[in-house]
């Protein structure tokens, strides 16, 4: 059986029939996005790997209870969001806004470290990732889910346990804050990027 040609639903059915290779394929399919989302929320690679691993184990345990009324990805991302938020609460990471004087100084000095003459795709990615990393976890999660996860506002609402309208407002604000962070990082070059 060629597992990589099966749909998520078929892989779930196979996994429930005790075929662990099918679940390995599901992990392979979703691990990059799950890891990216976890990274945006937890901010460090080590924590993101821990959260991502925990999510896949939790999902495996609850797979039989997964109601296939929504997409597997929507269900999985909701696990990522709740797991990462619990992780942050447990670690007591300071999730307050970084809009304080001290951080501004720090960011400005960091921005000065990069002397980039041209803004090509890779560098653009790098700056965008830095700017997203400066956002609050919720803002970073919404941006990631909307643009990289290609989730609709309704799906994000289900994943983050919010109303769709709240997500819409939060998305507007998150984009606005992201632009501010980019301007802070790039100064004049920001115009080319945003």
Partner 1 sequence: MKTREEQLWEYIDGTLPAAEEKRIAQLIADDVQWEQAYADQLGFSRSLQDMELDEPSMGFNFRVMEAIRSETVLDPLKTRINPWIIRGIGLFFLVSMIVVFGVAAGKINWSGFSAETSSAVPVAKMKSVLGDRSAMQVAMFAGVIMLLFLGDRILNRRLHEKISAS
Q: Is 63 in the site for partner 1 (CB under 8 A)?
A: no
Q: Is 62 in the site for partner 1 (CB under 8 A)?
A: no
Q: Report yes or no: 90 and 45 within 8 Å, Cβ to Cβ.
A: no
CA distance to 68, 116, 135, per residue, from 49 (Å)? 27, 30, 20
Q: Is 143 in the site for partner 1 (CB under 8 A)?
A: yes
Shortest distance in whole angstroms from residue 60 CB to partner 1:
5
Region from 4-12, 67-75, 86-94, 141-149 binding partner 1, contact rule CB under 8 A: 141-149
Q: Which residue has the tokens 């945006």?
A: 40
Region from 65-73, 75-83, 86-94, 164-172 binding partner 1, contact rule CB under 8 A: 164-172
Binders of partner 1: how many residues, by CB under 8 A? 41
Residue from 89, 104, 172, 187 in contact with partner 1 (CB under 8 A): 172
Q: Is 18 in the site for partner 1 (CB under 8 A)?
A: yes
| DSSP letter for each residue of 75-122 | HHHHHHHHHHHHHHHHHT---S---SHHHHHHHHHHHHH---S---HH
């Amino acid at each position: 059986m060629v597992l990589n040609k099966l749909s998520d639903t078929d892989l779930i059915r196979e996994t429930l029939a005790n075929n662990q290779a099918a679940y390995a394929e599901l992990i392979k399919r979703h691990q990059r996005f799950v890891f990216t989302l976890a990274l945006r929320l937890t901010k460090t690679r080590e924590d993101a790997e821990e959260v991502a691993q925990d999510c896949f184990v939790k999902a495996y345990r609850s797979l039989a209870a997964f109601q296939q009324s929504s997409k597997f990805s929507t269900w999985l991302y909701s696990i990522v969001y709740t797991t990462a938020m619990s992780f942050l609460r447990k670690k007591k990471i300071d999730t307050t806004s970084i809009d304080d004087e001290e951080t501004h100084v720090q960011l400005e000095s960091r921005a000065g470290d990069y002397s980039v003459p041209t803004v090509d795709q890779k560098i653009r990615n790098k700056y965008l990732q830095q700017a997203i990393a400066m956002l609050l976890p919720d803002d970073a999660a919404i941006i990631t889910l909307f643009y990289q996860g290609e989730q609709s506002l309704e799906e994000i609402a289900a994943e983050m346990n919010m109303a769709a309208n709240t997500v819409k407002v939060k998305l507007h604000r998150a984009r606005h804050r992201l632009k501010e962070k980019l301007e802070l990082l790039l100064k004049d070059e920001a115009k080319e990027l945003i």
